[in-house]
Amino acid sequence: MPAANISEQISLAGTEASGTGNMKLMINGAVTLGTMDGANVEIHDAVGSDNIIIFGMNVDEVNAAKPSYQPINIYNSNPVIKAAIDRMQFGINGEVFNEIADSLKTQDTYMALADFDSYKNAQKYASECYRDQHKWNRMSLMNTANAGIFSADRSVEDYARDIWHLTK
Ligand SMILES: *Cc1c(COP(=O)(O)O)cnc(C)c1O
């Protein structure tokens, strides 16, 4: 965590209850590349859109797309995705990954194919930001500087006041 440049928090929106690993990476200056899910949302609020790299569907978009989701249609229409999944089935260093490939094509429970292009663009944008060292260092520092809200003291005080209704 102290050595990370990027904190990838790539759960499908609506599937991660919270996430605290993202906060540990943030306070150490890693820039979050993630979905609007769990505590990524709070990190986004704390650092602002310029200092986090968000991709993918939000919860409302996931809920709207899920009932009629057919990953095979994306596989058939997106040549990059098709090549990647086909490679799993042709074999990588003699290993085939048929189960993963088939589950992506037929179920894709976490809608990875639906968010793939957006993820790819986010990675490209991250590389562009990183090449501008002044910009990257600023993003990094803004993460450390705004991590205070995630302190355990603040969190426990909130619980004591709002949930447990305790007086000191
Ligand atoms: C913070 C932490 C976690 C939680 O990580 P998430 O990325 O929030 O799931 C799990 N295990 C250990 C040892 C941790 O310190």
- Look-up of token digits 């290993």: 95
| CA 21 to ligand 1 centroid distance, Å | 5
Q: Whose CA is nearest to atom 1 of ligand 1?
A: 21
Planar angle of CA 131, 133, 135, nearest 5 degrees: 100
Per-residue pLDDT of the chain (168 residues; tens, 9 = 90+): 999 999 999 999 999 989 999 999 999 999 999 999 999 999 999 999 999 999 999 999 999 999 999 999 999 999 999 999 999 999 999 999 999 999 999 999 999 999 999 999 999 999 999 999 999 999 999 999 999 999 999 999 999 999 999 998
Residue 33, phi then psi, degrees to nearest 5: -115, 105
Three-class HEC string of the chain: CCCCCEEEECCCCCCCCCCCHHHHHHHCCCEEEECCCCCHHHHHHHHCHHHCEECCCCHHHHHHHHHHCCHHHHHHHCHHHHHHHHHHHHCECCECCHHHHHHHHHCCCCCHHHHHHHHHHHHHHHHHHHHCHHHHHHHHHHHHHCHHHHCHHHHHHHHHHHHCCCCC
Residue 60, phi then psi, degrees to nearest 5: -65, -40
In the structure, which protein residues have their CB atom closer than 6 angstroms to any atom of ligand 1?
A: 19-21, 24
pTM (2 decimals)? 0.92
